[in-house]
Chain A
Amino acid sequence: MSVLSLVITALFYISFIIFVIGMTKKILQYWATPAPLKIPVAPTPLTRTGVVLRIIREVTLFESLFKSSKWTWIFGWLFHFGLFLVLIRHIRYFWPGEVPEIFLLVQPFKYGAFAMLIGLLGLMGRRIFVDRVRYISAPSDYIMLALLLIIGVSGAVMTFTSNHTDVVMVKEFASGLITFNWSELPTELQLLVHLLLVIILIAIFPISKLLHVPGVFFSPTRNQVDDARKKRHISSWALDQEKNNEVRLDQIMGEDE
Chain B
Amino acid sequence: MAKDFEIPPLPKYIEIPSINEGAMKGEGPFKSSEEFQIPLGFPGEKVENWQDVAISKMGELKSKYRSVQVFLDVCVKCGACTDKCHYFLGSSDPKNMPVARQDLFRSVYRRHFTFAGKYFPKLVGAKDLDESMLDDWYNYFHQCSQCRRCSVFCPYGIDTAEISMAAREVLDAVGVGQKYCNQILGKAVTVGNNLGLPEPALRDTLIDLEEEIEEETGVAVKYPLDVKGSEILLITPSADFFAEPHIDGLIGYGKVFHQDGVSWTLSSYASEGANFGMFIGSYDVMRKAALRIRKAALDLEVSRVIVGECGHAWRVAYSFWNTLSGVGAGGSDEYSLKLQNQLDSRYPQPQHIIEYTYDLIKRDKLKFDKSENDDRTVTFHDSCNVARATNMGGIPNGQFILPREVIKAVCNNYIDMERETIKESTFCCGGGGGLLTDDLMEIRIKGAMPRMQALKEVEKTDGVDTLAAICAICKSQFSKVLPKFDFDPYMIVSVHQLVSDAIVLDKSHTIESGVEENIEEATQ
Cβ contact within 8 Å between B81 and A37? no
| Residues from chain B with Cβ under 8 Å of A232 in the complex | 322-323, 326, 328-333, 336
- Interface of chain A residues 202 through 227 with chain B (CB within 8 A): 204, 207-209, 211-212, 215-216, 218-222, 226
Is residue A157 contacting chain B, with contact meaning CB distance below 8 A?
Answer: no
Complex CA gap A140/B115 in Å reads: 14
For residue B206, CB closer than 8 A to chain A, the reply is no
> Could you say which residues of chain A place their CB within 8 Å of the CB of B73?
26, 209, 211-212, 215
Q: Which residues of B contact A1 (CB under 8 A)?
A: none
Instruction: Assess whether A221 is in contact with B151, with CB atoms less than 8 Å apart.
Output: yes
Say which residue of B65, B283, B285, B391 sits within 8 Å of A226 (CB atoms).
B391
Is B397 interfacial (CB-CB < 8 Å)? Answer: yes
Q: Confirm or deny: A4 has a beta carbon within 8 angstroms of a beta carbon on chain B.
A: no
* B82 touches which of A37, A46, A132 (Cβ 8 Å): A132
Q: Are B65 and A228 in contact (CB under 8 A)?
A: no
Contact A33 B65 (CB under 8 A): yes
6 closest A-B pairs by beta carbon, nearest first, are A138-B125, A215-B74, A232-B331, A68-B153, A221-B157, A252-B41
| 17 pairs, A vs B, C-beta closer than 8 Å | A33-B70, A34-B65, A35-B67, A37-B319, A39-B162, A67-B425, A68-B84, A68-B153, A69-B153, A219-B70, A228-B318, A228-B323, A229-B318, A229-B328, A229-B350, A253-B39, A254-B189
Assess the A135–B94 pair: CB atoms within 8 A. yes
From A36, A41, A136, B283 is in contact (CB under 8 Å) with A36
Q: Complex Cα distance A219/B326, Å?
A: 25
Asked whether, in the complex, the Cβ of B99 is within 8 Å of the Cβ of A136, the reply is yes
Given contacts A43-B397, A232-B332, A253-B41, contact A36 B323 (CB under 8 A): yes
Which residue in chain A gives the minimum CB-CB distance to B151? A41
Q: Which residues 190-209 of A sit at the B interface, judged by CB distance below 8 A?
A: 204, 207-209
Cβ of A38 under 8 Å from chain B: yes
Residues of B within 8 Å of A, CB-based: how many? Answer: 92
What does the 1/0 interface line of A8-39 toward B look like (CB < 8 Å)? Answer: 00000000000000000010011001111111
Closest to A206 in B: B115
- Any A CB within 8 A of the CB of B220: no
Complex: A249 Cα to B94 Cα, angstroms: 39
Identify which of A58-66, A163-171, A177-185 touches chain B.
A58-66
A238 touching B283, Cβ below 8 Å: yes
Contacts of A123 in B (CB 8 A): 78
- Show the binding face of B for A, using Cβ within 8 Å: 16, 18-19, 39-41, 62-67, 69-71, 73-84, 94, 97, 99-100, 103, 114-116, 120, 122-125, 148, 151-159, 162, 189-192, 269, 283-285, 287-288, 291-292, 295, 318-320, 322-323, 326, 328-333, 336, 348-350, 387-389, 391, 394-397, 399, 423-425
Residues of A within 8 A of B (CB): 26, 29-30, 33-46, 58, 62, 64-65, 67-69, 72, 76, 123, 126-127, 130-133, 135-141, 143, 204, 207-209, 211-212, 215-216, 218-222, 226, 228-235, 237-238, 241-242, 249, 252-254, 256-257
B contact residues around A139 at 8 Å (CB):
122-125
Contact A37 B320 (CB under 8 A): yes
Q: Please, which residues of chain A bring their CB within 8 A of the CB of B162?
A: 39
Q: How far is the CB of B261 from chain A (nearest CB, A)?
A: 26
Distance A152 CA – B64 CA, assembled complex (angstroms): 40
Cβ contact within 8 Å between B323 and A37: yes
Task: Find out whether the CB atom of B77 lies under 8 angstroms from the CB atom of A209.
Answer: yes
Q: In the complex the two chains form, what is the Cα distance from A244 to B79 in whole Å?
A: 44
B424 to A43, Cβ gap below 8 A? Answer: yes
Shortest Cβ gap from A254 to chain B (Å): 6
Are the CB atoms of B189 and A253 closer together than 8 Å?
Answer: yes
Please, how many angstroms separate the alpha-carbon atoms of A39 and B388 in the complex? 9
Taken together as a complex, chains A and B put the C-alpha atoms of A137 and B100 apart, in Å, by 10
**Complex Cα spacing A252 to B287, Å:** 13
**A137 CA to B125 CA, complexed, in Å:** 8
Do most interface residues of chain A lie in helix, strand or loop, or is the interface mixed?
Answer: helix
Specify which chain A residues have a CB less than 8 angstroms from the CB of B66 in the assembled complex. 30, 33-35, 218, 220
Q: Is the CB of A44 within 8 A of B332?
A: no
Measured between C-beta atoms, what is the minimum distance from A133 to chain B in Å? 4
* A141-B77, A232-B323, A253-B288 known, 12 other contacts, Cβ within 8 Å: A43-B396, A46-B391, A46-B396, A69-B79, A69-B153, A133-B78, A143-B123, A212-B73, A231-B322, A232-B329, A249-B287, A254-B39
CB distance A33 to B156 under 8 Å? no
Q: Contacts A33-B65, A43-B424 known; A212 to B329 CB distance under 8 Å?
A: no
Q: How far is the CB of A148 from chain B (nearest CB, A)?
A: 12
Would B284 and A252 count as touching, CB distance under 8 A? yes
Most buried by B among A64, A228, A235, A253: A228
- Complex: chain B residue closest to A232, CB-CB: B331
**Considering the chains assembled together, what is the distance between the CA atoms of A37 and B282 in angstroms?**
12
Quick one: which of B62, B154, B162 has the most chain A CB within 10 A? Answer: B154
In the complex, residue of chain A having the shortest beta-carbon distance to the beta carbon of B154: A64
What's the Cα separation between A222 and B39 when bound, in Å? 36
Q: Tell me the bound Cα distance from A256 to B288 in angstroms.
A: 10
The distance from the CB of A49 to the nearest CB of chain B, in whole angstroms, is 12
**CB nearest neighbor in A for B117:** A207
- Closest-by-CB residue of A relative to B424 is A42
A211 adjacent to B189 (CB under 8 Å): no
Q: Is the CB of B323 within 8 A of A41?
A: no
Residue from B62, B191, B330, B397 whose CB has the most chain A CB atoms within 10 Å: B330
Contact assessment for B82 and A35 in the assembled complex, using a CB-CB cutoff below 8 Å? no
Q: From the candidates A140, A212, A249, name the one contacting B288 in the complex (CB within 8 A).
A: A249
Q: Is the CB of B123 within 8 A of A33?
A: no
For residue B331, which residues in chain A have a CB less than 8 angstroms away from its CB?
232, 234
